[in-house]
Structure 1
Amino acid sequence: MKVKKMLALFLALIMLVSMAACGSSGEPAAPENGGDAQGKVLNIYCWNEEFQSRFTDYFEKPGLIPEGVKVNFVITPNEGNAYQNALDEALLKQDSAAADDKIDIFLVEADNALKYVNTDYTLDVVNDIGLTDADLADQYQYTRDIVTDSNGKQKGTTWQATPGLFAYRRSIAKDVLGTDDPTQVQAALADWDKFDKVAEQAAAKGYKMLSGYDDSFRTFNNNISKPWVDSSNKIVIDPNVMRWIDQTKLYTDKGYNNKTSLWAPEWSADQGPAGKVFGFFYSTWGINFTLLGNSLATPESEGGKLEVGNGIYGDYAVCQGPQNYYWGGTWICAAAGTDNVDLVRSIMYTLTCDPVTMKKITEDTQDYTNNITAMNELAKSDFKSDFLGGQNHIALFAEAAPKINMKNISPYDQAMTEQLRLAFKDYFDGKVTKEQAFDNFYRAVIEKHPELTK
């Protein structure tokens, strides 16, 4: 364990040095791509099976893997940062590893993307891998910005776009607002003042507006006006984050939420048949994969059908909500040292640039994919979600996705957002004062990043 921690710290130090170098006038040396254009083994590092299923269904089954190449998925669940620790350790050994053991592809999330793209561990998808500007032109700009390094080089690409919406219970909206029509519900929730007013109305009817402390956090945090850390390494608390703190304290004290935390069993239960929560902030994947599953009285694994009558299937709808935001997403990065450059290019093109594949993924899974033309076609079609009562949610996602702005993303986002929510839970529950919660937050963040100040 000590060795792993030392390796992770060493890698973090290397990455910080690399980031500093990238910010200087001179560009870092181009990474070595490896020997042959096609190796015998394609090693893919990831933390769950989502990308594996996309790879299998839309790349392997169509017969696009070259003959003689073995695909090896190295999956490390990311509990307690286990995935990043395993990836960091493997990247440290990349130069000395045998060809068949080298990482070819690894996946990152938005919160940790800059940790990797601002280093020489990742390859430029245009100059090193060979995707063209035309290939990438139809991707949503924010998905490119997240994996663009400080020299303006795009170092990853994704099949997903993950704009967020507000998913609400139709039956509760009718009781509280007198309508479940998405246009009218949106008018009632169009800004945070209106949202708070509806929370008060919902409480009067015996409902919770939100399930827990974290539900609205990403919506507020995605709309900060400045990065979490300024040019002098001072931590900046944005007014929009302060508003989340104040709103969540109000909701907790007034009983407008159910005091749950994201992913807790109680939070999931609030989305089901016995729940009395007005709605949930969810992005593309969350609606089709998480909310749908939680809504069922009889899960699919137990023979339950995806149809009206099974729990509250069909009782949800979506609207834009008070602010534009995104949540989640997974990016494909090519590792420096890969000996499968041609194959990596083929994977990146097929799964993230090809409009035919993108459209098919959405039609098959209702996931929202990263191709503007394909998504606009579905937005204007008769595409619909039975789970959402026949609503074409793709149309709302297509309206929201171009508005996402990632100009304030920073390498510190993961630590900031995790530690802030953790520190302020005690404040919401009345165990500490706001000042004490801030002190606990600063202490935790500076322990992880000693270069920062409050």
Structure 2
Amino acid sequence: MKKRITKLMALLLTTSMLVPMTACSTGGNEAKSDEHVLNIWCWNDEFQSRFNDYYPEVKKVSKDKSKTYLKDGTVVKWTINENKGNNYQNKLDEALAAQDDKDDNEKIDIFLIEADYALKYVNSSATLDVVKDVGLTKKDLGDQYQYTKDIVTTKGVQKATSWQAAPGLFAYRRSVAKQVLGTDDPVEVQKSLSDWNKFNEVAGKAKSAGFQMLSGYDDSFRVFSNNVKQPWVKGDTVTVDKNIMEWVKQTKEFTDKGYNNKTSLWNDAWSKDQGPDGKVFGFFYSTWGINFTLMKNSLADPDGKAQVGNGAFGDWAVCEGPAPYYWGGSWLCAAKGTDDKKEIKDIMRKLTCDKNIMKKMTENPEIQDYTNTVSGMEEIAKDPNFGSEFLGGQNHVALFSESANKIDMSNTSKYDQGCNEKIQTAMKDYFDGKVSLDKAKKNFETSIKETYPTIKKVEWPNE
């Protein structure tokens, strides 16, 4: 009898232990207690797809893509928080603040940042030195574009690394260029757009031919803001660079004369201007924008195959435009508190330092990302067989390669995102004639002081 009771108790105990284990295993993103988990945080699936497609250690990916399984048994868990407003940063900040209280399998190991707010994290204790702490060498990082390192370096310490560079060019409609300039050849078009005076002159010609030079208020902003002579903030003072006011002057003129279509970045009208029925000469775009946003918007059938015959696919080309600039980019940070430095080093080294892996991303016709390898991009730039069907067969990498070497990030500051956004918002009412320039300036001063309470005054350039 005792033996039967003992066996029954053992059976009940075993069953009760299995119940929570089964519940845990069906929890989707929750890890099993014996799994080694690497947590990666980002705001969209761009890096996730690069990781899954090009990291050599990937074994398989879960159906819902929330987990990636590596060959050594590590489970990569993806946390993607859409970057609307400051949603991504807010959730990231909360998680990083609680990092010390988490188990190793719950701690953030890698998180991604963008250029506009990079210094917020680079200057914090939340990120590790990719050389001293993670273990990358100067040789590993030696083939990367210098600006991609400068933007995430503080006091000589590099705190992040990227697989991509994002130099910008001017993308224009070939058919429109032929009507306005009599040619769609990138070399000849560049001669007509090589400085702002020439650019503005062509805007007048485009208007006379029934086109707008640009779509909206914000299109040229990055080109001006990337070429300022000083950072936005020093001490407690915001200094509005003369180049920013040149953008204001140009945009007001373009708006008043009908040289733009009064749209704003990312709205429906702006996207439609890039479609087959668009009447806009061109758009300032960096690498990712041309290969993904512009191409998608150009299609008559977004669900159809991206090829000549589908909307404006093939009716685009690129030239350098009036000034070098960059727009965007994503960087990988190693989070303080991670216990996975060895894995992080391998990921960073293979996806952001390995020329052969990065060249494969660029050579993939469905991606053609401009990757962070100087020698690799120079090799592709000289390849007579490489070209973009979307750009009419043009080897755009050759132009991006030239532009990337001219980018200067010495005036970057942690206030860039707020200042860039607030100045554009404040000036919109001025462009539309709703307020005077002086009132728009006052509105900017008010909003920037609310955004950054430590700011005491705003200085404007002498007109």
Residue equivalent to 2:11: none
Contact 1:114/1:146, CA 8 A, preserved across alignment: yes
Equivalent residue runs for 1:99-138 within 5 Å: 99-138=104-143
Query: Which residue type is aligned with residue 429 of structure 1?
Result: D
Using the TM superposition, give the Cα deviation of residue 40 of structure 1 relative to its aligned residue in structure 2, in angstroms: 1.3
Using the TM superposition, give the Cα deviation of residue 60 of structure 1 relative to its aligned residue in structure 2, in angstroms: 5.8
Residue equivalent to 1:449: 452
Using the TM superposition, give the Cα deviation of residue 152 of structure 1 relative to its aligned residue in structure 2, in angstroms: 1.0
**2:439 aligned with 1:436, yes or no?**
yes
Moved over 3 A (4+): 60-64
Contact 2:35/2:75, CA 8 A, preserved across alignment: no
**2:392 aligned with 1:396, yes or no?**
no
Question: 1:220-256 CA distances to partner (integer Å, 9 max, x unpaired)?
Answer: 00000000112x3211111110000000000000000
Structure 1 residues not aligned, in runs of 5+:
1-37
- Give, in whole Å, the separation in 2 of the partners of 1:353 and 1:422: 38
Give the alignment partner of residue 277 of structure 2, picking from 274, 279, 295: 274
Structural RMSD (CA)? 1.3
Structure 2 residues not aligned, in runs of 5+:
1-33, 60-68, 459-463
**2:419 aligned with 1:416, yes or no?**
yes
Residue equivalent to 1:48: 44
Contact 2:58/2:71, CA 8 A, preserved across alignment: no
- Give, in whole Å, the separation in 1 of the partners of 2:447 and 2:156: 32
Instruction: Determine helix, strand or coil for the equivalent of 1:72.
Output: strand
Instruction: Determine helix, strand or coil for the equivalent of 1:235.
Output: strand
- Give, in whole Å, the separation in 2 of the partners of 1:193 and 1:223: 16
- Give, in whole Å, the separation in 2 of the partners of 1:65 and 1:119: 30
For residues 422 and 241 of structure 1, do their structure 2 counterparts lie closer, same or farther at Cα, with a shift above 3 Å needed? Answer: same
Give the alignment partner of residue 216 of structure 1, picking from 213, 220, 231: 220
- Give, in whole Å, the separation in 1 of the partners of 2:84 and 2:128: 27
Question: 1:105-158 CA distances to partner (integer Å, 9 max, x unpaired)?
Answer: 000000111000111110000000000000000000000011101x21000000
Instruction: Determine helix, strand or coil for the equivalent of 1:280.
Output: strand
Equivalent residue runs for 1:13-412 within 5 Å: 40-59=36-55, 62-63=58-59, 65-149=70-154, 151-230=155-234, 232-299=235-302, 301=303, 304-364=304-364, 365-382=367-384, 383-412=386-415
Question: 1:153-204 CA distances to partner (integer Å, 9 max, x unpaired)?
Answer: 0000000100000000111101000111100100000000000000000000
Instruction: Determine helix, strand or coil for the equivalent of 1:345.
Output: helix
Contact 1:39/1:99, CA 8 A, preserved across alignment: no
Residue equivalent to 1:12: none
Using the TM superposition, give the Cα deviation of residue 61 of structure 1 relative to its aligned residue in structure 2, in angstroms: 6.3
- Give, in whole Å, the separation in 2 of the partners of 1:442 and 1:337: 39
Structure with the larger RCO, 1 or 2 (CA within 8 Å, 6+ apart): 1
Larger Rg: 2
- Give, in whole Å, the separation in 2 of the partners of 1:170 and 1:161: 26
TM-score by length of 2: 0.88
Using the TM superposition, give the Cα deviation of residue 96 of structure 1 relative to its aligned residue in structure 2, in angstroms: 1.2
Using the TM superposition, give the Cα deviation of residue 267 of structure 1 relative to its aligned residue in structure 2, in angstroms: 0.3
Using the TM superposition, give the Cα deviation of residue 308 of structure 1 relative to its aligned residue in structure 2, in angstroms: 1.4
Question: 1:9-51 CA distances to partner (integer Å, 9 max, x unpaired)?
Answer: xxxxxxxxxxxxxxxxxxxxxxxxxxxxx98110111100001
Contact 1:248/1:428, CA 8 A, preserved across alignment: yes
Q: How many residues align?
A: 412
Contact 2:216/2:265, CA 8 A, preserved across alignment: yes
Query: Which residue type is aligned with residue 111 of structure 1?
Result: D
Which has the larger share of strand? 2
Name the stretch that deviates more: 314-323 or 56-65.
56-65
- Give, in whole Å, the separation in 1 of the partners of 2:356 and 2:56: 16
TM-score by length of 1: 0.89
- Give, in whole Å, the separation in 2 of the partners of 1:87 and 1:66: 28
Residue equivalent to 2:64: none
Contact 1:39/1:339, CA 8 A, preserved across alignment: no
Instruction: Determine helix, strand or coil for the equivalent of 2:229.
Output: coil
